[in-house]
Every structure is written in C-alpha cells, then in structure tokens.
Chain A
C-alpha cells in the first residue's frame, strides 16, 4: 500500500501516480549532488571569472534540473541569479540563459524570474514575466518572494525546472 502525500489516497503498492489527485508518488532520484564544474553550461555568458574560479567559500547552493532534457545546472558563487533568455541586440542579460533549453518555445521571458539565497533560505520571485512563474502549480505574484524547498517544481512559462537545494 502506498499513501499519497498530497491527498492521503491509498494506492496499490507499485503505483507511480496517485489516481485521485494525479500527484507523482515515486521519487525519480534525480538529485545528483556530485557536480562536474566543467559542465557548467549555465555559467557561459556569466562573468568570465566564474568558470575559472577555484572552489570558493560559497559552494553551489542550488541546482536547476531542467526536467524535459534532464540536464542539471549548478549555480554557485553568488547569492542571487536572474533566469531568462538571451535575445540578440538586447542590453539586459540574465545570469542564467535558458535559451539552450527551448526557452523561447516555452514562453520564457528575457528576464523571467530571480532566485536568491536570503538568510540561508532560498526564495524565488517572478520578474514581471509575460507567462508567469509557477511554484508547485501556483502562479506567483510578480516581485513577491516565495520560499523554495528542495525538490520543488517551478514553471517558467511552460519550462519545467526542478529546484535542488544543496546548501
């Protein structure tokens, strides 16, 4: 017997989704915390110093797991990141460029959301994006910080990202 953490519905052992509320019952175990610095694709386009910097005092505190492609982007070295999509001939550049992950097709704005580390609590906020930022299914009001737990699912438009907190 499995009990759905979301609606307490009882499911037969071996179920993967709750038939009552549709919640996923199985942990996909994607939270790999071993991160290879060479694969910091997200870091491209951020300040050059970031890639070459040795393991600094501020370790990678958050990883973005792009659910569709399965890639994991570790974020490190600062306490605030803006997420968005780089567009040609545009002065504003997000810290994390999501365009390699179909950001355009998924309706990600150029400056979509920001993720911050405030007093050891990770928060996410929407930066007035056109298609909205959703945390666990709820749309965030623009510029309002929402606390994030490890494993939470955020949607930037339709781009699904799981937030893995390692700090």
Chain B
C-alpha cells in the first residue's frame, strides 16, 4: 500500500500555507471531489481524506499539534529526523516583550546509524609552551601516540606543536612509519610562550591539504595558556575553517587559559571547548573526542537565517552533544549529529509586541546538513519558526524536554550573569547571585559544585574577583549538568 500522504499534500499546498490558502485549497478540492460531482471511482474516499485534512489544518491548535509530529518534508533523503518543540503553542496578544523557546532536535535514523563513519582527517595542535612541561606534556604525548596507533588506515593524522612559533611534528600522511612517528612525538620539547594563531594556522593548512570530498575534517587544539594579540586573527581563521567544513575543538588544561576566547573560536566551527582540570583527565577527554568524531552520522548541521523585525534571537545554546553556547549570527554551525546522541539546540526568542490574530515569524531560514550518507553530500531544507498570537495561553504546560533543558541551562546562565556582574563591578550582586546558584546546586545534589560557588561568592565579596580556577569549574561544571545521566564512557577506540 502506498504511504498515506500528509495533509498538506492532500490539499496540494505548502507547509507554510496561510489560513486563507488552506481554505481556498479546500474549497477547490471539495468542489472537484464532492460525492455529487465526482466521476472516477475512489474519489469519494479522496473527498473524505480532504475533509479530514481541512478539519485539522483549519484549526490552528490542531494544526500546530499536527505540524509538531509531521516528519520533515525531505525525510526520505536525510539520515536524520528533525523535530521542533516550542515552549508555548501560541504567543500572547501583548504589548510588552515576551519570551518563547524553541528546541530543534535532530535524531539519527536507524539505518543511518549502521553506515560506517567517514574517514577522518585530524590535526592535533599542541601547546608546548614552558608551562606544559612535566605531567601535562607527558600525558599529551602518550595520548597522541595512542591516537596515532588506533586510527584506521584510511584516516589522516597530523600533529603540530606550537609555542611562539609552530612546528609540524607529523605531517599529514596515511600509513606513516609508526616507529618514526612515535619517536618524533617523544622528542617534543617544551619552551617559550603561547601563540595560538601560529599553531592553528599550520594545523589548518595540514587539514586543508588532505581534505577529500568524503573526509571528516577536524582540528583539536590543546592549550594551557592565554594567547595575546592574535585572537582576532584566530577567529578569522576559524570562520574560514568553518566555510571549508573544518571543525575546531578546544581543550583547555588547568586554569590559565582563556575560556571565553576558546569557546568563541570553537563555536564558530560547530565545535566546543572543554575544561581539563587535572592532567590525568587529558587522556580520557582527548580519546573521548576522537571517538566522537568516529560516531558521526551527520558531520555538520548549519543554520542560516534571518530574524524579522520586532523579534530577537536572544540566546542560542547547544544542549547535546557537547553543550556549548552558540554564536547568534547567521550562519550558526550547530555541529554534528552522533549515532547515539541527538543534536539538540535551544533558542530563546524575544518578541517585542504581538498584535491580535497575527502570526509572528520568529526565524526564517534554512538548515544545511552535510553527511557522507548523502549522495549529494549536502542537503538544505527550509526552516521557518512561527507561532500564532492569541488572547490566552494554551492550557498545556511547556514541552517537558524544554523545561528539563532549561532547568539546567538556567544554572549555566546564572553563572554567566555573575561573570557580567563581576566585570561591571557589582560585587555584592554577583556574590548574592552565586549564593542563589549554590542553593540550586545543592537542591540538585551537586554538593561539590555548590561548595565551589560558595567559596567563590566569598572570594568575590573580599577580593572583588573570581579565582581563575573556581570560575572555570563553575562554568564547565554547570555546563556538564546538561550531559544527561551519568557521564557516557566511550571506551576504547574501535
């Protein structure tokens, strides 16, 4: 039996048809198919179908509910399924600003999960400044050797070390002499400062040189220090990398590195930054990252959009995988979709004022999905987020997925607020805010993190500043609350 058509195709209208268009289409179809008029056998059944379609689509509430469960139009092509949830099914008729949340979710399809991951093209860019000396560098070296050993024959692996200038330790090649490579990694010496741009640029060129149509391209940057003066150049390079389909992941070791910068750098490319507080965690986190690269069903999801006048995209955050703040300018690289983890992105919109009986468009744009599972490599489809305006809120509570994500995200955002307050010199408010955060953390059973928050609150009231370490611990600690359940262990590489 042929698959039943969706209501929109039954009425031969687009998904974004207005109420008037739906009505017109229905009348037209009804005139043609009415039992008194129709000629061909089976048309009476069609007439019933059309009526059913109209009944749902003409009622905005029913239509919204139907839209929510409707698979996206290009479903048969895509290796992922898209789902959109809103915090409210409608906006309120209101003259003051109001908030609305939308959760975009992309989940891998069962058959896509079977297909093998594309060949990797990775460059590890390692900070070898003086401060890395000792345990940090030892663990990094041994992990790099492990990665080199475990990658598959079709993968490209290169390694760049940088301090004031960059040096290519392993040029990107396949099936390099393992013994020689390992010896070269062992010989890395620590000295000098941290100039991220030189390392990043060399890493970028290594990856670019071996980029194939089918490869999945990544730079993993490991640093423990701050770079001075070349931040802008780095960010420009990241934008360029994003356009070429190269992602950057930033791993910061210890407390001295600039997390705001690394976050921005990574999020421009769909990657994220991670905090490594102790040297013994370097190996686990690095291997986890490499493993994740092997798990992708979709290598990159990119959202291009415009926000209409009167609406503002106020906040965008990737909930899973790798929770991270997203840039709010089009295009946003949302990151990969993994085999065992849905991609979830939460967006907060502020609507300035909503007139009666109008439909407010929150966002108008398109999603491009890049995957090796696709014949054309990249497929785009439109994405339009809009909500009707009514005089009353619907009785339904917000989608539980949104509430659950927000319950944790709120804590992360409280921490962001505290940072802003400290920067603005509002120390008392910051300290109070941190105490409230501690209360919430305690309620969740996060005692260690709550303690850190309280200690920092004290530090702020007395010394008028965060401690580097506590600041990062709270930031990445609240962020990791979003990783649902227990920490996922990826185990060894295949």
Contact = CB atoms under 8 A, between A and B. Distances in A.
A22 B411 contact: yes
A21 B98 contact: no
| Interface hub of A7, A17, A22, A70 (most chain B Cβ within 10 A) | A22
Interface stretch (B141-149, B358-366, B367-375, B397-405): B397-405
Interface residues of B, number: 33
A18 B414 CA distance: 9
A28 B101 CA distance: 16
B443 A134 contact: yes
A1 B414 CA distance: 19
Nearest to A14: B99
B417 A22 contact: no
Interface in B367-407: 395-398, 400, 402-403, 406-407
B445 A14 contact: no
Given A1-B96, A13-B92, A19-B417, A29 B397 contact: yes
22 contacts: A7-B436, A12-B350, A13-B94, A13-B97, A14-B88, A15-B99, A16-B406, A17-B410, A20-B433, A20-B436, A22-B414, A22-B436, A26-B397, A28-B398, A30-B397, A70-B400, A134-B445, A136-B443, A137-B440, A137-B442, A137-B443, A157-B445
A99 to B, nearest CB: 18
Interface of A: 1, 7, 11-22, 24, 26-30, 70, 134, 136-137, 153, 155, 157-158
B439 interface: yes
Contacts of A134: 443, 445
B403 A16 contact: yes
B87 interface: yes
Interface string B428-446: 0000010011011011010
Contacts of B99: 11-15
Contacts of B439: 21-22, 137
Nearest to A21: B436
Given A12-B98, A27-B397, A158-B445, A17 B350 contact: no
A19 B421 CA distance: 13
A158 to B, nearest CB: 5
